Amino acid sequence: MTERTPLLHYRLSNSVNESRPLLPAEGPAPEQHPVSPRQRSTQQRQPKKLSTFFGVVIPTLLSMFSVVVFLRIGFVVGQSGLYQAIAMFLVAYFIISMTVLSVCAISTNGALDAGGAYYMISRALGPEFGGSIGIMFFLANVCGCALFVLGLVEAIVATFGVPEDGTLATSHFQVLPSGYWWSLLYATVVGLLCLLVCLVGAHIYAKTTFIIFLIVIFVLVTIFVSFFAVRPRTIILPRFPNPNNGTGPVFPTTANFTGFKLDTLLGNLNAGYTVDYTTGTMMTFASVFAVMFNGCTGIMAGSNMSGDLKNPSYSIPRGTITAVIFTFITYNLLCLLVACSCDRVLLQRDYSFLRDINVWNPFVTIGVYSSTLSAAMSNLIGASRILYALARDDLFGKVLSPAKKTSHSGNPWVSVLISWFLVQLVLFSGKLNTIASIVTIFFLLVYAAVDLACLALEWASAPNFRPTFRYFTWHTCALGIVGCAIMMFLINAIYASASIAFMLLLLLLIHYLSPTSSWGYISQALIFHQVRKYLLMLDVRKDHVKFWRPQVLLMISNPRSSVGLITFINDIKKSGLYVLGHVQLGDLNRLPSDPLQSQYDSWLSLVDHLNIKAFVNLTLADSVRHGVQHLLFISGLGGMRPNTLVLGFYDDCLPKDKLIDPSLSTSQLIDSSGFSQGLEQQPPLFHFSSLRGSSDRQDYGEFGDGKVLGPQEYVAIIADAMKMLKNVVLARYFNSFDRTQVLSPPSTSPGMGAVYVDVWPVNLFRPDSSSYVDTCSLFLLQLACILNMVRAWRKATLRLFLCVEEGRSVRGSEQKLGQLLKELRIKAHIYPVPWDQQVALHWQRQGEWSKRNPSQPPEATKEKQKPRTDEEEENEEDYVNSFPSNATRLSDDYLSAVNKLILEQAFSPPAVRFLYLPRPPADTRRYTAYLHQLELLTRDLGPTLLIHGVTPVITTDL
């Protein structure tokens, strides 16, 4: 990570008003500006955010019902028949269900802002895809608004309009002039009404839609009741000019509502495509599906309101799924009832027939007007929010800069005006069925892009992509993409090709404009998995914290004793770069050839034998320290470079050979001396040097020429890695680690069959600090979470131990830490651990030191005399990460007591422990004492990782 990458800070306070963490200060994005006092007061005056029901369920329901449920349900059944109508709804809802799953997954993976689907796609796929799809989604909402306005005008003219063929009106209500220009005038008036509501703001819009929602639900109830309550009757069909100038067939003027009859049902089962009496064009499966699908395109209505919702990540999945299920059931019931009770002629020649068969005709009229008006407003306000988000992101330079302007309440009124103006242009098309295909293709393209965004995030396998909504897989995303693509070309291949070409043109335009963004590029996460030729596409300047993954350099002295550690580190790499490093001591000037070339085959065979995904990097150096520096400098290519150094612990543990014979089990291989009896005569599988005796160090203890790594040089390697901004992990007691045995423990007693991973994310060398939110602590949590995400470790339980002192609120600290885990989407059990006795030993030693050094009172003693607030603890990050002078005065009694405390908490022994690794002291003369302190702290703990993180690795952003 570069220095520009921010640290994730959290404000863990007891205030009930601060329920969310502070987001990373990623530097000013294009849309971010300093907040003035006037703007702060404006923000305080903003209306209350919307709930799930008002902000998602109601807009989605009304958008999905809209025209189809009142004006086109008979059209669909009359043209395609009951069988094909149900098949259409199944296909349509299958496509949108796959998209809904993707929307739910993306919306629950972080904080959402204004822009809905555009925000999701742009933050997931980057500005190029985000901007181009954003424009397409904006145009889809604009055309959708025009479509619903035209549907409303069609209903008005059908009720109050004078017949266009010049015949006498059949009702005294038919007083409005008819014709193209008159319909355009009516549509303009309706558009102005929608504009006025949307200019007021989302809050008033929500209240308006709730009233409309009650009306629509009531009308739907009356429609269902009418099928049972109304007696059979003859209905006069509306008259339209003959599209063939009087030369075509003569259409009937009346049709029957028969009630429930088997003959009627049988007559409506099969398809009977004919000429549409409003446009004069011949209907087909594709054209009818295009009209019908507009009743399913409202699934984004709730997502479009993401900037106005209280909790978008909670509301969008629940509200959208609820609306989709409700509308699906309603549409299919209506199709069945219509097919059982209405003549085919009635369905084909009268789109307003539900009004004529209702218990009271005005009910349906009111429902049509209300639903289409609300759907039009929903699309208009959605289009304005998308345009505002596009303008705020500065993807198109100054072209959209006027759309950034907002009112005092935060309503983007300029975006609303621009959207309304474009809607007005679309209204010149004149007929609903004329633009239905275009609207459907635009929405299908957007849905495919949402599925693509989710698919890309899933395939990238980034550790920070862990949405709380898990009912999706890459298969559902792929099915959604394929379904959308097929239906686009079935509806109209020319329109589909043109829309895709237009989107690609926009993509290239944004690419050449090269807008700067801090969203992260998922391409960088996907390219990571590609073959060598794509490595050049990885750009370190585009690194982003949300796509961070561990890229590990594991230093190995002899693989024979490191099999357990190699396999374990393979589990925590999370599809990241994994390099096995080895330093051969020697001087090339004194050797006839490079001694490393002959060793590569053995190392690659080791990789194959252990079935791990790792690279091998060997180097020749005059010392281990210089060799590790070489590997840290040169390992990797482009953006694939190690960011984490893993070393075996420096101790006197007896090494055990795990590579004698892979065909035998571990119990057969090794006895107490490290070798199995009777195997010495077998030829070695790998040409690695044999292990030394117990007097030699475990991992980086001894090399081929017999030189031994000293404690001073060992700690210097740790310090060098931290200077190079590499995270450091020290692994102890992994020489006997058996992954299979650990993950399948014997269930001899209750609770013994479970697998635990213990995490202690506090600097135990600093008992005067209890901060859990510094860089190192968050890095510790991230690695533990990554291990828990691996398939083999998913059943393991994370246990997080919270060290507390007397006088502190245990419940408050536990709640704050629990809130932190919730924001990070990490599942762990928190266990408060009182450690007053251990801390008392520390302060006792500080007092003794003060008596011996009266001129230098310890700083920690001063801090003890004055209790610090939580806010002061949060701001001590640099101090916590350092190795302060008082830590050099830690007593062996204190460290032994802490070690005993850790052991006592293991009521069920964990598979592995994660501990906080403090920085080495600045004084190199203290290196040996530092290593001794680490040895005391981790003595007899079993497999343990001492971890120090220097880079931020966690974010709550989408």
Q: Which of 827, 933, 826, 949 is nearest to 464 (CA)?
A: 826
What is the chain's Cα-based Rg? 35
Helix 127-160 to helix 413-426 angle (10° resolution) is 60
**Weakly modelled stretches of the chain, pLDDT under 50:** 1-45, 661-684, 694-707, 748-749, 849-887
- In single-letter form, the type of residue at position 70 comes to F
Cβ-in-10-Å burial (0-12, 13-18, 19+) of 279 comes to middle
Residue indicated by tokens 């000037």:
589
Q: How much is the pLDDT for 166?
A: 57
What are the DSSP calls for 808-866, one per residue?
S-HHHHHHHHHHHHHHTT---EEEEEE-HHHHHHHHHHHHHHHHH-TTS--HHHHHHHS
Q: How much is the pLDDT for 129?
A: 78
Tens digits of per-residue pLDDT, 757-774? Answer: 999 888 888 776 656 778
Cβ-in-10-Å burial (0-12, 13-18, 19+) of 243 comes to middle
**What are 540's two structure tokens?**
């370190």
- In single-letter form, the type of residue at position 650 comes to Y
**What are 940's two structure tokens?**
């007899």
Strand 578-585 versus strand 615-621 pairing type: parallel
Q: Give the H/E segment covering residue 646.
A: strand 644-648
The number of CA neighbours under 13 Å toward the Cβ of 79 is 26
Strand 797-804 versus strand 254-257 pairing type: unpaired
Q: Give the H/E segment covering residue 254.
A: strand 254-257
Phi and psi at residue 585, to the nearest 5°: -75, 135
Phi and psi at residue 265, to the nearest 5°: -60, -45
User: Distance between CA 787 and CA 773 in Å, rounded?
Assistant: 20
Cα angle: 394, vertex 399, 400; to 5 degrees: 60
The number of CA neighbours under 13 Å toward the Cβ of 535 is 10
Tens digits of per-residue pLDDT, 435-453? Answer: 878 888 888 888 888 888 8
- Taken in order 97, 98, 100, 105, the sign of the CA dihedral is positive
What are the DSSP calls for 510-524, one per residue?
HHHH----SS--HHH
Question: With contact defined as beta carbons under 8 Å apart, do 176 and 161 qualify?
Answer: yes
**What is the 8-class DSSP label of residue 342?**
B
Tens digits of per-residue pLDDT, 518-536? Answer: 666 666 666 555 555 566 6
Q: How much is the pLDDT for 521?
A: 66
Question: With contact defined as beta carbons under 8 Å apart, do 461 and 786 qualify?
Answer: no
Q: List, in order, residues 6 or more apart from 860 with CB less than 8 Å away.
A: 768, 846, 884, 886
Question: With contact defined as beta carbons under 8 Å apart, do 587 and 548 qualify?
Answer: no
Residue indicated by tokens 């490290």:
674
Strand 254-257 versus strand 233-236 pairing type: antiparallel
Burial 899-932 (b: 16+ CB within 10 A, else e): bebbeebeebebbbbbbbbbbbbeeeebbeebbe
**What are 431's two structure tokens?**
């007929």
Residues 63/67/68/72 CA torsion (nearest 10 deg): -170
What are the DSSP calls for 358-381, one per residue?
SSSHHHHHHHHHHHHHHHHHHHHH
Q: How much is the pLDDT for 934?
A: 92
- In single-letter form, the type of residue at position 110 comes to G
Q: Domains of the chain, with CATH numbers?
A: 52-164+173-239+252-513 (1.20.1740.10), 546-657+705-728 (3.40.50.620), 738-845+887-957 (3.40.50)
Helix 432-460 to helix 474-491 angle (10° resolution) is 160
User: Distance between CA 185 and CA 566 in Å, rounded?
Assistant: 75
User: Distance between CA 860 and CA 863 in Å, rounded?
Assistant: 5
Residue indicated by tokens 């049509």:
368
What are the DSSP calls for 391-420, one per residue?
HHTTTTTTTTGGGG---TTS--HHHHHHHH
Q: How much is the pLDDT for 878?
A: 45
| SS3 call for 456 | helix
| SS3 call for 233 | strand
Instruction: Give me the percent of the chain exceeding a pLDDT of 90.
Output: 17
- Longest CA–CA span in the chain (Å) reads 116
Residue indicated by tokens 């005569």:
681
User: Distance between CA 425 and CA 418 in Å, rounded?
Assistant: 11
Q: Which of 27, 58, 10 is nearest to 309 (CA)?
A: 58
User: Distance between CA 497 and CA 711 in Å, rounded?
Assistant: 68
Q: Give the H/E segment covering residue 730.
A: strand 727-732
Q: List, in order, residues 6 or more apart from 280 with CB less than 8 Å away.
A: 243, 244
